[in-house]
Chains A and B, each alone.
Chain A
Amino acid sequence: MIPLFFAYFSVVSIVAGVLTVALRHPVHCGLALLTLLLHVAGLFVLLNAEFLFAVQIIVYAGAILVLYLFVLMLLNLKTEERFLHTRYAVILFASVAVLGELLLLVLRSPFQGAKGDAPTEVILQDGASYAIGIKMFSDYLLLFEIVGVFLLGAIIGAIVLAKTPTSPLQDQRET
């Protein structure tokens, strides 16, 4: 059953990713991106990461994508005749070559290494949210605080950038 779900989620997310890049109208691209995000969330469930599944849907599909669609509606873009670069065929060819090389490397590597301290049975006992919480607020506390400061900086930066120019600035320009 799990391979079936994996095949469904991975095929649909790849198709949605290609559509996001290839569709002409920006709103359609946004909807394709939504499909991609939901199916990547499904992949997280298959990997026993139910907390990340919830975060993916709430933060990515709920907040970030709405922000994108909001800006799309706000700007009221016209659909352009030429929506790709002039030399897109060269880039496409090079990227397919890089992808082939990557797949060759991935399929040939054994991916072996030491196991960590969180086997699946232990995680399933209390749930992934519990395991993530214990780990994040002990070993990764400093990183967590840094992310908080980063988000504050991003909020302030976004507000300062998107604010309409005020009169003191114009006064400075005139003098």
Chain B
Amino acid sequence: MVPLSAYVVVSAVLFVTGLVGVLIRRNFIIVLMAVEIMLNAANINLVAFSHYFESMAGQIVALFVIAIAAGEAAVGLAIIIVVFRGKISTNVDEMNLLKW
């Protein structure tokens, strides 16, 4: 029997990995991929607690998280295409048009 804290540890490690990816990568697409890693870590947590506390709510919220991730990916990639069309770069450091 795997204890609940083992799942939480895996989830924490994955979440920090995603956080590091968001902070240190310079490519916008990889930053979005790191956000997906973080969302997956949250999903592991939700499903593990749902299983160990015998409630269905965690799995349903995990389903909603997947839907939100799909929307986020669509809008984020559309933004990448717009930025790339104008400046020919996906470097997050060079996107400072909104910074005033």
Chain A interfacial positions (CB closer than 8 Å to B):
2-3, 6, 10, 13-14, 17-18, 20-21, 26, 29-30, 33, 36-37, 40, 43-44, 46-49, 51-52, 55-56, 59-60, 63-64, 67-68, 71-72, 74-75, 77, 80, 82-85, 88, 91-92, 95-96, 98-99, 102-103, 106-107, 109, 111, 113-120, 123, 128, 131-132, 135-136, 140, 143, 147, 150-151, 153-155, 157-159, 161-162
Tell which of A30, A40, A117, A128 touches B40, judged by Cβ atoms closer than 8 Å.
A40
- Chain A residues with Cβ below 8 Å from B33 are 20, 29-30, 33, 68
- Taking a contact as CB atoms under 8 Å apart, the answer to whether B40 and A37 are in contact is yes
The 4 closest A-B pairs by CB, nearest first: A116-B55, A154-B71, A21-B21, A161-B78
- Categorize the interface residue count of chain B: 35 or more
Contact between B17 and A46 (Cβ–Cβ < 8 Å)?
no
B23 to chain A: closest residue by CB? A91
- Known contacts A71-B81, A103-B12; decide if A44 and B53 are in contact (CB<8 Å): no
In the bound assembly, the distance between CA atoms of A26 and B30 in angstroms comes to 7
Flag if B40 contacts A157 (CB, 8 Å). no
From known contacts A14-B17, A132-B56, infer whether A49 and B50 are also in contact, taking CB-CB under 8 Å.
yes
B5:A135 contact, CB within 8 angstroms = no
Q: What are 21 sample pairs from A and B whose C-beta atoms fall under 8 A apart?
A: A6-B2, A20-B30, A21-B25, A29-B33, A36-B14, A43-B44, A47-B47, A47-B50, A55-B66, A63-B70, A75-B29, A80-B27, A84-B26, A103-B9, A116-B55, A116-B56, A120-B54, A143-B64, A157-B74, A159-B78, A161-B81
* Known A48-B51, A60-B66, A161-B81; further 12 A-B contacts with Cβ < 8 A: A2-B2, A21-B21, A59-B70, A60-B36, A64-B70, A68-B33, A88-B24, A103-B12, A106-B8, A132-B63, A157-B74, A162-B78
Q: In the assembled complex, which residues on chain B have CB atoms less than 8 Å from the CB atom of A113?
A: 53
Compute the total of residue contacts between A and B using a CB distance below 8 Å.
Answer: 229
Bound CA–CA A103/B17 (angstroms): 13
Decide yes or no: A52 and B63 within 8 Å by CB, A95-B19, A151-B71 being known contacts. yes
Would you give the 0/1 interface string for B35-73, flagging 1 where the beta carbon is closer than 8 Å to chain A? Answer: 011001001100110111111110110111011111111
Give chain A residues whose Cβ lies under 8 Å from the Cβ of B57: 116, 135
Question: Given contacts A29-B33, A116-B56, are A36 and B40 in contact (CB under 8 A)?
Answer: yes
